[in-house]
Amino acid sequence: MAGAAGTAGAGRAKCARRNARKARSARKGRSACACACGAWWAREARMRRAHHRAGRRRDTARDDLFRERSHNLAHPDAMIRRPCPRRPPTDAPMTEIELKLQVPADAQRAVDAAVGTGRARRTRLRAVYYDTADRRLAAAGIALRVRQEGRVRVQTVKAAGNGLLERLEHNVALSGASRDAGPAPAVDPARHAGTEAGARLAAALAPRDGETDVPLQAVYRTDILRHHRTLRTTGGVVELAYDTGAILAGDRRMAVSELEIELVRGRPEAVVDVARRWAARHGLWIDLRTKAERGERLARGQDQAPAVKAAPIALAAHATVDDAARSVLSSCLMQVLANAGEIAGARHGADHVHQMRVGLRRLRTALRLFDGWATGIDPAWTQEIAVVFRQLGGQRDRDALEATLLPRLREAGAPFTEPFSAEDPDAADAPVQVARSAAFTDLALRLQRFVSGGESGGESGGESGGGADGGSADASADGSADGSTDESAGGSADGSASAAQEALRAGLAVRLQRWHRQVRRDARRFEALPDDARHRLRRRVKRLRYAVEFVAALYGRRKVARYLARLAPVQEQLGAYNDLCVAIALFSRAVTDDPRAWFAVGWLDAKRTDLVPTITRTLAGLRRARPFWDGRAPRADDAAASGDRDHPAIARARQRAQ
């Protein structure tokens, strides 16, 4: 028994010792695990602190990490965080693609709040713009400035680019120039040598007539608070920049409240798509005027700029149908938007309304000229343009009569010369409302999207905030990854381009021939036409003239000039005849309220009758005009007069375009 008890006791002791060893091992394991975890967290903490210190060093070298108070700008934020450049200053030549939208007073708070989401920043931008005493840079469309961006000063030159969205730009960071380094370095145009913008700057500043030096002087300055952030959208990455502040020239001041949408990476259509969404959401409108243009006007003390007329269109010799359509529409849209911006700013005159309507009519002509064979054109655009055109018609009729017929009536002793007295007293504000309307802004942006190379139908995708990086590089134009081509491919491309250009000329000849024959048919019987048919002839003459001006670069200059010399007087005389008809209608309605208007009705009707023989003689000269496209145009028969989109030449051009 004693032996058994001893054995049992020994076994229990052995188990106790084994359990004790296990317990000690478990405690050691837990301690080892805790030490390992603690070491991992310690390493992570050290890495984070090192990364934070490195980040602070990078930020200190690039930006101003100290907050500065805004003493000169009234803004809700008393402090401005991290003033840093919109983009890092660089000596490389650049081309910016951006669009400006004016922000009305009732939308400023909402726009500022919408831009302020995500990683938005506020940057103080103070710039001085330079020019010669005779404003050579302004005349050449060039802006030269030195701007303080946080602790950095940057010298920039900008010049006009291709189209509405593009501008040439070159930035040079001024070494050693900062807010605390004393006065800014002197402006030096030579800093931009070797760039396209710099070449234009040098040409504008070249000495003339024995000059040895062309000094530059400060003309005006800007003081802007920019609230900006990047935005990722389908098609690219853009930067939203809401600018508030002022342009200053002496004791004159012009307020600034505009939203700039600039392409950071991607396709130009991305800028237009974002602009459409923001314009529709906040009631914004397009304004092509740059700060430099407005500053120059402020420095000169001008209340309004001259109206913008149609510019010549230089179609390339190898242009295809789609190339020609986009070039023509871009020129027409430029004329419309340049004048619409002045009207929307309520700093316009009668000529701005007139030239905007001229641009709209040219747009309609261009759409009809390329209808059915240029890809991407939306048929609904023509009707939408017609609506805007009619909305501006009332004010244009008033301006035309005030400038021409009403003064002559007063000289003739007419007892009543106020046919507009019963009209809407707010009619003068109608052009401003049209230029600011959401319908017109969206139409213009859709047209701009087509001009930029995008599809006409809608916008692409949505958007998200933040500074999105990454993006795909587009393939080269010839479809190869490295852009290399062989001789056979080059020859094939040349032949294809030549065939496409010939198809363009043939298709244009078909359209021009058809419109020319319509004008000749009505010209033969002008005296027998009623007033509505004469008005239709006037529209057809305008359409033919605009179309000829569109394609003049593809044909001989002298032949085109001779044809236009026959066409222009007809348009002018038919316009005078139409003004007489409009005035007769206005005074005829006024007769019921004031019988004295009968004098004006009789006087105007006599002038209209006297004008008919003159127009008939001028139309006879137009009938003898030889079309400059003669010998290249397939003759369109009368059966195709109702429409020529299925004409063989048009069909071939459409196939080439596709």
Q: Residue 464 in 3-state DSSP? A: strand
How do beta strands 142-149 and 152-160 pair? Answer: antiparallel
Q: Which long-range contacts (CB under 8 A, 24 or more apart) does 379-384 make?
A: 381/443, 381/446, 381/447, 381/456, 384/439, 384/443
CATH number, position 113: 2.40.320.10
> Is 352 within a domain?
no
Rounded CA gap, 528 and 516, in Å? 20
Identify whether the C-beta of residue 582 lies closer than 8 Å to the C-beta of residue 394. no
DSSP 184: P
The last residue of a domain, from among 272, 302, 332: 302
- 524 pLDDT more than 70: yes
3-class DSSP string for 76-107: CCCEECCCCCCCCCCCCEEEEEEEEEECCHHH
- 30 pLDDT more than 70: no
Rounded CA gap, 364 and 387, in Å? 11
Q: How far is CA 6 from the centre of its chain?
A: 104
What is the structure's pLDDT at 555? 87
Q: Over pLDDT 70: what percentage of the chain? A: 73
> Is 545 within a domain?
yes
Other Cβ atoms less than 10 A from the Cβ of 605: the count is 16
pTM (two decimals): 0.77
Domain of residue 532, residue span: 501-657
Task: Give the pLDDT mean for 313-325.
Answer: 86
Closest CA to 320 of 446, 507, 484: 507
Structure tokens at 276: 């459409």
Structure tokens at 261: 């949408």
State the DSSP H helix or E strand holding residue 192, giving kind and residue range, or none if neither: none
**Which residue in this structure is represented by tokens 């916008």?**
459
Q: Assign 309 a pLDDT band (cuts: 50, 70, 90).
A: very high
> Is 297 within a domain?
yes
Residues 359-406 have pLDDT tens digits of 999 999 999 999 888 889 999 999 999 999 999 988 888 888 888 898
The radius of gyration computed from the CA coordinates of the chain, to the nearest angstrom, equals 35
Q: Assign 634 a pLDDT band (cuts: 50, 70, 90).
A: very low
Environment class of 265 (CB within 10 Å of its CB; exposed 0-12, middle 13-18, buried 19+): middle
The last residue of a domain, from among 257, 276, 302: 302
> Is 227 within a domain?
yes
Rounded CA gap, 605 and 339, in Å? 34
Structure tokens at 154: 């940057």
Angle value at C-alpha 630, between 629 and 633, nearest 5 degrees? 75
> Is 564 within a domain?
yes
What is the structure's pLDDT at 467? 47
Closest CA to 366 of 551, 566, 519, 502: 551
What is the structure's pLDDT at 84? 41
**Please, what is the average pLDDT of the chain?**
80
Residues 336-362 have pLDDT tens digits of 999 999 999 888 888 999 999 999 999
**Which residue in this structure is represented by tokens 């394991």?**
29
CATH number, position 540: 1.40.20.10
More confident call, 35 vs 600: 600
> Is 473 within a domain?
no
> Is 114 within a domain?
yes
Q: Which of 79-88, 139-148, 169-178, 649-658 has the highest mean pLDDT?
A: 139-148
Structure tokens at 353: 């309304």
Q: Any residues with CB less than 8 A from the CB of 51 and at least 6 apart, and which?
A: none
Domain count within the chain: 2
What is the structure's pLDDT at 476? 33
> Is 338 within a domain?
no
Strand partners, 149: 125, 152
Residues 445-503 have pLDDT tens digits of 999 999 988 665 554 455 555 544 433 333 333 333 333 334 444 445 555 556 777 78
**Which residue in this structure is represented by tokens 């569109």?**
550
CA separation (Å) from 406 to 138, 394, 417, 456, 601?
38, 16, 6, 44, 12
Rounded CA gap, 232 and 471, in Å? 10
Identify whether the C-beta of residue 227 lies closer than 8 Å to the C-beta of residue 82. no
Q: Residue 112 in 3-state DSSP? A: helix
Closest CA to 553 of 584, 508, 599, 601: 508
How many residues are recorded in the chain? 658
The last residue of a domain, from among 243, 278, 302: 302
Going through 270-325 in order, the beta strands assigned E by DSSP cover: 285-286
CA separation (Å) from 462 to 235, 236, 276, 299, 410?
10, 11, 12, 41, 60
